[in-house]
């Protein structure tokens, strides 16, 4: 059923793409000169089985793509930010909970800050020294966090966004990233969701209005193109 849905959606989006382009949508924001990787909610509660937040295609698509991207970012020492979500006060009756009103919609109480095993980044793509782990409380990695300031201080002009979910936290991060003045790139194979079809629909809509959807290989080629000359220069200077 999932494969059939994807085939049907791809056919529908081919026609929708034609209509959008006729109206001037799907322009390119393009890659800049200083990238950062923003990995959204690829923590155990989303990547491992048995949690309400567990997503599809983690093992066969998202993790391998992330491993490829991380290798390239680390090779050229470009910034990497691992974003996760957890809540310190999970009592829904407590008016001072850091969940705000979101608990009225989704089971955010299952990612208690008191249990790091839930919100720790998946060990297969775990942060290495020099990479940030940022805790957010809302969907967007920018909302109420220091992310934009950190990126600007590092001179970043382009964010490659990965993670879950396409319909919520990834999408909101991309929209806010563009609004905050960053070139936004959604890495196609490294984005997932819990519901069949949600990834295809959201990536189509993101590509039409909020950022460029690019393949993992295209992103790696870009990193090689701008990173290799810098690496050679640094080696000569050393």
Residues tagged active-site = 169
**Which tokens belong to 138?**
């809302």
Question: In the sheet where 80-85 sits, what is the strand order?
Answer: 132-136, 80-85, 35-40, 158-164, 183-192, 212-214
- The residue count of the chain comes to 238
Contact indicator for 132, 141 with CB cutoff of 8 Å: no
Q: How far apart are CA 171 and CA 165, in angstroms?
A: 8
Q: How far apart are CA 104 and CA 29, in angstroms?
A: 36
Q: How far apart are CA 58 and CA 213, in angstroms?
A: 19
Contact indicator for 108, 136 with CB cutoff of 8 Å: no
């Amino acid at each position: 059923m999932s494969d059939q849905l994807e085939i049907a959606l791809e056919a529908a989006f081919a026609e929708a793409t034609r209509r959008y382009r006729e109206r001037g949508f799907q322009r390119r924001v393009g890659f800049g000169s200083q990238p950062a990787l923003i990995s959204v909610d690829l923590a155990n509660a989303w990547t491992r089985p048995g949690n309400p937040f567990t997503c599809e295609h983690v093992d066969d698509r998202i993790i391998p793509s992330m491993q490829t991207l991380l290798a390239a970012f680390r090779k050229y020492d470009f910034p990497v930010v691992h974003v996760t979500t957890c809540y310190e006060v999970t009592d829904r009756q407590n008016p001072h909970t850091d969940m705000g009103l979101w608990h009225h919609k989704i089971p955010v109480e299952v990612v208690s800050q008191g249990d790091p095993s839930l919100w720790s980044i998946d060990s297969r793509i775990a942060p290495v020294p020099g990479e940030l782990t940022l805790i957010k409380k809302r969907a967007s990695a920018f909302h109420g966090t220091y992310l934009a300031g950190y990126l600007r201080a590092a001179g970043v002009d382009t964010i490659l966004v990965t993670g879950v979910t396409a319909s919520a936290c990834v999408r909101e991060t991309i929209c806010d990233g563009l609004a905050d003045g960053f070139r936004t790139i959604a890495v196609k194979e490294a984005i997932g969701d819990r519901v069949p079809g949600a990834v295809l629909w959201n990536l189509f809509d993101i590509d039409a209005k909020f950022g460029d959807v690019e393949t993992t290989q295209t992103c790696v080629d870009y990193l090689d193109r701008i990173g290799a000359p810098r690496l050679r220069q640094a080696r000569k200077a050393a």
